Amino acid sequence: MHIRLKVWFEVDGEYIFGDGRAELLRLIEQSGSIKEAASNLRMSYRHAWGQIRKLEDRLGTKLVETRVGGKGGGEASLTDAAKEFLSDYEKFRNNLDVFIQEESRKDLRNIFFK
């Protein structure tokens, strides 16, 4: 028996942030390229930018900086605010994963985990 979890943040019923956008930010930081990050997630460059813009608007904070030039015609990196945010989110997700594993085994041991 495996426990599965989806968690995300919404405003007025609209998806704002979750594992998907966290992964997008992480890949941008790793690759230095929005295009490469988008391609890894099988989304278009345009869609990836749209997601970042929407998130920046919602948070009122710049998350991704781009520089014209460099290899591939431009480089992208996370702002300090985005790095901190991503790190906080990863901490939150890890804490949540540990909690649900422990808690589900404790609360549901009689049937699921006997």
Q: Which residues of the shown chain bind its own copies in the complex (CB under 8 A)? A: 1-11, 16-17, 59, 61, 81, 84-85, 88-89, 91-92, 95-96, 99-100, 103-104, 107-108, 110-112
Toward its own copies, which CB reaches closer, 5 or 53?
Answer: 5
| Euclidean distance between CA atoms 13 and 44, whole angstroms | 24
Toward its own copies, which CB reaches closer, 70 or 81?
Answer: 81
Toward its own copies, which CB reaches closer, 9 or 44?
Answer: 9
| Euclidean distance between CA atoms 9 and 59, whole angstroms | 12
Return the structure tokens found at 99: 């909690």
Between β-strands 14-18 and 74-78, what pairing exists: parallel, antiparallel or unpaired? unpaired
| Euclidean distance between CA atoms 44 and 38, whole angstroms | 6
CB of 12 to its own copies, least distance (A): 9
